[in-house]
Amino acid sequence: MEVLMPEPQIYVERTLAIVKPDVIDKEEEIEDLILRSGFHIIQKRKLQLSPEQCSNFYAEQFGKVFFPNLTAYMSSGPIVAMVLARDCAVSYWKELLGPSNSLRARITHPHSLRALYGTDELRNGLHGSLSIFSAEKEIRFIFPEAVLEPVPTGQRARDYLNLYVKPTLLAGLTALCKEKPADPM
């Protein structure tokens, strides 16, 4: 009986991570945890948002009771924004962050980043995008020069490999075969 396996695919998602003002001094430690969790940091920048920029960034939260405190908190000092990439980046980043309420995170997810670095419901230390759509929108907001092209899959990926990768690989392997060293080791 032959088992049919699907062709391997490469799925790389991007998400936005923000180290908030109150834990900026833990940036290197947090970055190390991010890298050890299998993420790649594609872009990174340190900046300070104005209250107006914070209002625009968190526009979906407008009208909620905590909105004025959130914009004041996020504009109170510098932040570090990072574009993280890996397979299922959005969901893995949310899992690593834990619940948005740091007090709850300490009980239910004690090893999460918000449990480790957050102090309360508002000052939870880190931001993460909620979905792929919001990640793209937030990345464009913080990194307006970023090019967010979808990773090709299916026929588009095969066409790209056939057009660009295979000829280069074939030429390189052919040249390598023609060069037979006297002592390969």
* Full strand arrangement of the beta sheet holding 126-128: 40-47, 79-86, 13-19, 126-128
Q: How far apart are CA 145 and CA 29, in angstroms?
A: 27
Residue whose pair of structure tokens reads 């056939």 in the numeric block: 162
127 a catalytic residue: yes
Q: Which residues does the annotation mark as catalytic?
A: 127
